[in-house]
Amino acid sequence: MSSQPVEDAAPVGRVQRKRGRRVQEILSTAAELFGERGYDAVSLDDVAERLDVTKGSLYYYFPGKDELAVAAIETLGADWTGRLERLAATAEGPPHERLRALIREHVAIAVGEYPAALRLFLVPSTWPDDPRERIKELRRRHDQVFRGVLEEGLASGEFAVTGLETTLQCMHAAMAQAPLWCGGLESDARERALDELADTLVKLVAAAQ
Amino acid sequence: MSSQPVEDAAPVGRVQRKRGRRVQEILSTAAELFGERGYDAVSLDDVAERLDVTKGSLYYYFPGKDELAVAAIETLGADWTGRLERLAATAEGPPHERLRALIREHVAIAVGEYPAALRLFLVPSTWPDDPRERIKELRRRHDQVFRGVLEEGLASGEFAVTGLETTLQCMHAAMAQAPLWCGGLESDARERALDELADTLVKLVAAAQ
DNA sequence: TACTATATTGACTCTCGGGTCAAAGTTTGC
DNA sequence: GCAAACTTTGACCCGAGAGTCAATATAGTA
């Protein structure tokens, strides 16, 4: 929004870029941790330890835990949604196959990398509006990937739903909870469980034939 | 709350029964609070305040926060499941109507009374086995109500599922998250949203005809 | 090399919330 | 009425974890 003087905006000095890279390192480490355990269960000491620095350093880059967490969650969300968007763009086949692939990839990421993602969307309602809005925005962009495929299938008559948004919410909920009940399974059993989950969720859009 | 005492009260003295009643008061108040906000967001001072006593009193009845919380969650779960069991026992009609009624009642309770119930099942994995097992047991009994209706419909051929347990997990997940996305709606809009949710979830068991 | 900007440290403060306990208050039973 | 049992209080301890900051180390630059 607020544009800066030209010399500050475009070609930032080497030092600035280095700082930028450091910020990214911190965010990506923090995203890992928050994705594994959720906001409450991660302390700044935890983040610092995984980065091999001390807590004080983090305050050189972020004003506080909340800001770091929101930025980390945005990093996590951008990564996750980005991968789904790429899949949606390249996947071939009829809508139900593409939808199934999306679901399958989503839960694979959830179970394997961000098992606590569910907790991240349970933002305490005591948080200020700005960060809550930013997290909702992540969710919107994420849902948009699924919504696209759903609308495609609805247009072609291959899908039918009671309500589009409700269907999306149900899918999202079931996928988000997947780590809870198949996180502990052996890898082959887990694969089968996730396959079954995908098949089950595809039923939500089945056209009565 | 319409629950019967969870604790088996063997000892008979008047004093003992009075103590038992006090325990139930505490549990039912604590269940309210934990159901509203979840474990982490409720302090013992909060529980004590709603009971118009001080924190110290709680330690006269429970050895610590965890024990109080687990007992309160069991109270909450017994109340909730009891209401669903009663509904399942009295409801008339074909399986899909009875299932729909169960779903509708479940989300009504979730949204109206225990909006944070979702958090209660996100038990930190650092907890000891005993309480975690007790909470899982609650979940089992709860699922059993739905499983009963599902099996009935499957037996009659009115339902078809990809996998019974997976279907249950999906239903449970979607119902648990309902408070997140229709908690803020006006009451009539909310009723419509919950109706739509119930219709959507019933699709999970639709037999391909 | 010397000087400056940047980055990191570690010891510090502060608050919150779980848990303890002796003392005071209340109820019970004789 | 009164002693014993039961219940509640409120002041206290403690550890965890967020946040602060002067001192120090490192990197960049002339």
pLDDT, tens digit, 9 for 90 and up, residues A125-170: 788 899 999 999 999 999 999 999 999 999 999 999 999 999 999 9
B200 touches chain A (CB under 8 A): yes
Nearest to B50 by CA among B74, B77, B25, B71: B25
Question: CB-based contacts of B97: which residues, under 8 Å, 6+ apart?
Answer: B91
| Facing A169 at nearest CB: one of B124, B166, B181 | B181
| Res. A10: pLDDT tops 50 | no
A169 touches chain B (CB under 8 A): yes
Task: Please enumerate, as own/partner, the contacts of B49-52 that have beta carbons within 8 Å and a separation of 24 or more.
Answer: B51/B25, B51/B26
Q: What average pLDDT does the segment A39-62 reach?
A: 97
Q: For residue A125, give the chain B residue with the closest CA.
A: B37
Q: Is the ipTM of this complex over 0.95?
A: no
Q: A189 in contact with B at a CB cutoff of 8 Å?
A: no
Give the pLDDT band (50/70/90) at residue A8: very low
The predicted structure's pLDDT at residue A6: 34
Q: What three-state secondary structure class fits B126?
A: coil
Q: Which nucleotide is nearest to B22 (CA to C1')?
A: D7
Residue among A169, A180, A199 whose CB faces B162 most closely: A199
The span from the CA of A96 to the CA of A182, in Å, is 24
pLDDT at residue A86 tops 70: yes
**Domain range summary for chain B, segments of one domain joined by +:** 67-205
CB–CB contact A170 B196 (8 Å): no
Average pLDDT of chain A?
Answer: 92
Select the residue of A124, A173, A197 nearest B174 (Cβ to Cβ).
A173
CB A64 within 8 A of CB A127: no
Q: In the structure encoding, which two tokens stand for residue B104, read together?
A: 């509708």
Pick the closest to residue A50 from A66, A67, A70, A35 (CA basis). Answer: A35
- The CA distance from A190 to A76, in Å, is 23
What string of pLDDT tens digits covers the 209 residues of chain B?
A: 443 334 444 456 888 899 999 999 999 999 999 999 999 999 999 999 999 999 999 999 999 999 999 999 999 999 999 999 999 999 999 999 999 999 999 999 999 999 999 999 888 778 888 999 999 999 999 999 999 999 999 999 999 999 999 999 999 999 999 999 998 899 999 999 999 999 999 999 999 75
What is the mean pLDDT of the segment spanning A53-79? 97
- The label of the residue with tokens 């919107």 reads A140
Inter-chain touch A162–B119, beta carbons under 8 Å:
no
Cα A103 from Cα A174, distance rounded (Å)? 10
Longest CA span, chain B: 63
Q: Using CA atoms, how far apart are residues A110 and B13, in angstroms rounded to an integer?
A: 54
- List of residues 6+ apart from A96 with CB closer than 8 A: A153, A158, A159, A202, A205
Tell me what the mean pLDDT of segment A189-193 comes to: 96
Q: What SS3 state is found at A172?
A: helix
CA of B60 to C1' of C28 (A): 19
* CATH H superfamily, domain B67-205: Tetracycline Repressor, domain 2 (1.10.357.10)
Cα angle, residue B134 at apex, residues B129 and B139 outer, rounded to 5°: 120
Token pair, residue A86, equals: 């790429």
Higher pLDDT, A12 or B59: B59
Q: Gap from A47 CA to D7 C1', in Å?
A: 46
Q: What is the dihedral of CA A46, A47, A51, A56, to 10 degrees?
A: -100
Instruction: Please check the confidence at residue A4 and state whether its pLDDT lies above 70.
Output: no
Query: Is B109:B49 a contact under the CB 8 Å cutoff?
Result: no
Q: Does A124 touch chain B (CB under 8 A)?
A: yes
Residue A103 · residue A201 · CB < 8 Å? yes
What is the per-residue pLDDT for A156? Answer: 96
Chain A residue with the nearest C-alpha to that of B184: A125
SS3 call for A97: helix
Token pair listed for A124: 């305490």
Q: Which nucleotides of C are covered by protein (CB under 7 A)?
A: 5-11, 16-22, 28-29
B24-CA/D5-C1' distance, Å:
22
Point out the residue nearest to C28 (C-alpha to C1'). B15
**What was the pLDDT predicted at A209?**
54
Indicate whether A197 pLDDT > 80: yes
What are the tokens at B74?
A: 């069991």
For residue A49 the two structure tokens come to 């330890």
CB B143 within 8 A of CB B75: no
Confidence at residue B4, expressed as pLDDT on a 0 to 100 scale? 38
The answer to whether the beta carbon of residue A19 comes closer than 7 angstroms to any atom of strand C is yes
Phi and psi dihedrals of B161, rounded to 5?
Answer: -135, 160
* Alpha-carbon separation of residue B12 from A20, B7, B18 (angstroms): 70, 13, 10
- Percent of residues, chain A, with pLDDT higher than 90: 86
CB contacts of B163 in chain A (<8 Å) are 196, 199-200
Cα distance between residue B115 and residue B84, in whole Å: 17
| Cα B166 to Cα A204: distance, rounded to the nearest angstrom | 13
Using the structure block, give the residue that is written with the tokens 């990421």: A109
Question: Could B201 and A170 be called an inter-chain contact, meaning their C-beta atoms sit closer than 8 Å?
Answer: yes
| CA proximity to B128, closest of B63, B71, B66, B62 | B66
Fold of A6-205: Tetracycline Repressor; domain 2 (1.10.357)
- The tokens describing A184, both together, are 């502990």
Mean pLDDT of A39-57: 97
pLDDT given for residue B62 in this prediction? 98
Q: What is the pLDDT of residues A102-117, one digit of tens each?
A: 999 999 999 999 999 9
